[in-house]
Structure 1
Amino acid sequence: MLALYRFASRWPLWLLHALGAGLGWLTWAASPTYRRRIRENAAQAGYGFGQVRACVAHAGRMALEMPRLWFGAPVPLQWLQHQDVLDAAYASGRGIVFMTPHMGCFEITAQVVGAHYAARFGPMTVLYRPARQPLLRDVVEQARRREGVDTAPTTLAGVRQMIRALRAGRAVGLLPDQVPPQGQGVWSPVFGRPAYTMTLAARLIQQTGATPLLAWGERLPHAQGFRLHLRTFPEALSDDLETAVAQINGALESLIRERPGQYLWGYGRYKTPRSEAA
């Protein structure tokens, strides 16, 4: 599997994105459950399928661009908007919690921030869930070993690693809309419907005083590369945990509405959380 990923990493981005778009639509055609979930999740947010149909191709592009992003040559990139905000956040020494929804390209933010800021402020630590499939586990573990980026598994040890990084004034990144195991979240509204939501992002900010920032990597048309978007958090985060989680969900909703066609509407955001033993 690793050899296959390394082989695909040499392909041009336009080819990976073209094949990925086809894969996305093939998956959509083959799975009634996937089609239904996209329509239902989009409708919950007030969108018809025609307004979000681009998400089908983007999901496939996301899957096939990974070999290039993990093992290949650098891709074209438009630098961060509001870079002064990021400079100020690092200069404060309080640490930074980057929060990204399941939208666009997840990998770009960590790679770029790590490459440009690690020399001065230390590596960025990214939370990830180890692959369950043995064939993919080695691929993911090797791919995550990038200069300027550390990884933290979704375990207690990983959480402690992130807290240490924040207290040292470094940055961490995670996807707060990832459904956590039972016992690690609270039910909180997402587009008006209760969804089981992780509390980790809010806890990290509350416990360390870190600066919360919203970030996502827009996938540009015609395989022109990616554009990084950066936003300050719109309001002070509450000391009450459930209120803080709801604030984070609301901030992510605003990001998603900027480019609804690049959000993964097929993600099971409203699913019942799995048990920790599962």
Structure 2
Amino acid sequence: MITRLGLALLWLLYQLLGARALGRLGGALGGLIYRLPNRRRRVGETNLRLCFPEQTEAERAALLKAHYRAFFRATLQEAVSWWGSKEQVEALTRIEGFEHIAPHIGRPLIILAPHFIGLNLAAVRLSIVHSPTVSIYAKIRNPQIAQLMQRARSRFGPIELYDKREGVKPVLRAIRRGLPFYYLPDLDHGRRDAVFAPFFGVPAATLTGLSRIAALTGAVVVPCIAEQTAEGYVARFYPAWDNFPTGDVEADVRRMNAFIEDRVRERPEQYFWLHQRFKTRPEGEARLYD
């Protein structure tokens, strides 16, 4: 009931305020929530302490507050992808660098989409210029939110969405049929199918899927970073990676983490710092989170 009331309120606010004012409201809400004691804030503080040890405590606090503001702005503005028209989605989110993926459409292609806060809006925007695509999702506990997010991804074009519990085989088949795979492999999912690779100098359990799927399908890897701007969002595509995969899975994983780290340094407040990225530790290492 609480979720339905909250979604109804968000829908009403979107209708009354529009995307830009809703974003300002989300930023203010994020600044307020940052001030409240909460477990997620402690996770963010730990992540920033590990990744930016050269910064002062005050600098990291300011960065985390900026992240909260950006994160909740993006959260509220997802209403556009849920209920907005195609024109409203296009007005909020634009695409740059589409020429980097255009030559590969129709052939095996992986779009590497790290967890920047605008990645869901970027995926919906991509569905307007090209569909169908394929993606994997983790089950969301709240069925109303899950339904809205899945609907958003398929509103403007078909998409094949597979629960990660189904395994990778249906995704491999889709890639071989020429469906671009929108892939988010940069969270800590435990030891299974992962190796420890440095992320900001800290060993992080990192999925090997990007390298292995590219090897199995012959797919080209094109990164896409979702950037939040003053006007909205940009889904920015980068040139396809040369010499990938190499046959050395650990080297490929290190390359992926290094690329993501470089992009994070460009816009650090926009990476998803509220996830326990270093939860899984090498044998013998102590836990890093409370």
Same fold (TM over 0.5): yes
Q: TM-score scaled to structure 1, two decimals?
A: 0.84
Superposed CA deviations along residues 32-69 of structure 1, whole A, max 9, x for unmatched, are 54334333322333354245642120111122112222
Equivalent of 1:89 in 80, 104, 112:
104
Superposed CA deviations along residues 58-112 of structure 1, whole A, max 9, x for unmatched, are 111122112222222323256433322221222xx43211112221301233223
Superposed CA deviations along residues 197-249 of structure 1, whole A, max 9, x for unmatched, are 1222222111111110111221221xx22222111255422212222222111
Distance 1:23 1:164 in 2: 43
Q: Does 1:15 align with 2:15?
A: no
Residues 244, 149 of structure 1: alpha-carbon distance in 2 compared, 3 angstrom cutoff: farther
Amino acid at match of 1:87: A
Runs of 4+ aligned structure 1 residues displaced above 6 Å come to none
Identity of aligned residues (%): 25
Match of 2:35 in 1: 29
Match of 1:228 in 2: 235
More deviation, 210-219/72-81: 72-81
Distance 1:149 1:218 in 2: 24
| Secondary structure at 1:63 match in 2 | helix
More deviation, 167-176/224-233: 224-233
Aligned ranges 1:76-225 → 2 under 5 Å: 76-77=91-92, 79-90=94-105, 93-118=106-131, 123-155=132-164, 157=166, 159-221=168-230, 224-225=231-232
Match of 2:69 in 1: 57
Residues 7, 198 of structure 1: alpha-carbon distance in 2 compared, 3 angstrom cutoff: farther
- Residues 221 and 241 of structure 2 are in contact (CA less than 8 Å); yes or no, is this contact kept in structure 1? no
Structure 2: gaps (5+ residues): 282-290
Match of 1:252 in 2: 260
Shift of 1:177: 1.0
Residues 115, 171 of structure 1: alpha-carbon distance in 2 compared, 3 angstrom cutoff: same
- Residues 100 and 215 of structure 1 are in contact (CA less than 8 Å); yes or no, is this contact kept in structure 2? yes
Distance 2:119 2:171 in 1: 18
Structure 1: gaps (5+ residues): 274-278
Match of 2:287 in 1: none
| Secondary structure at 1:144 match in 2 | helix
Distance 1:142 1:111 in 2: 10
- Residues 124 and 152 of structure 2 are in contact (CA less than 8 Å); yes or no, is this contact kept in structure 1? no
Residues 159, 6 of structure 1: alpha-carbon distance in 2 compared, 3 angstrom cutoff: farther
More deviation, 22-31/211-220: 22-31
Q: TM-score scaled to structure 2, two decimals?
A: 0.80
Please tell me the root mean square deviation across aligned C-alpha atoms, in Å: 2.5
Equivalences, count: 265
Residues 235, 257 of structure 1: alpha-carbon distance in 2 compared, 3 angstrom cutoff: farther
Amino acid at match of 2:234: R
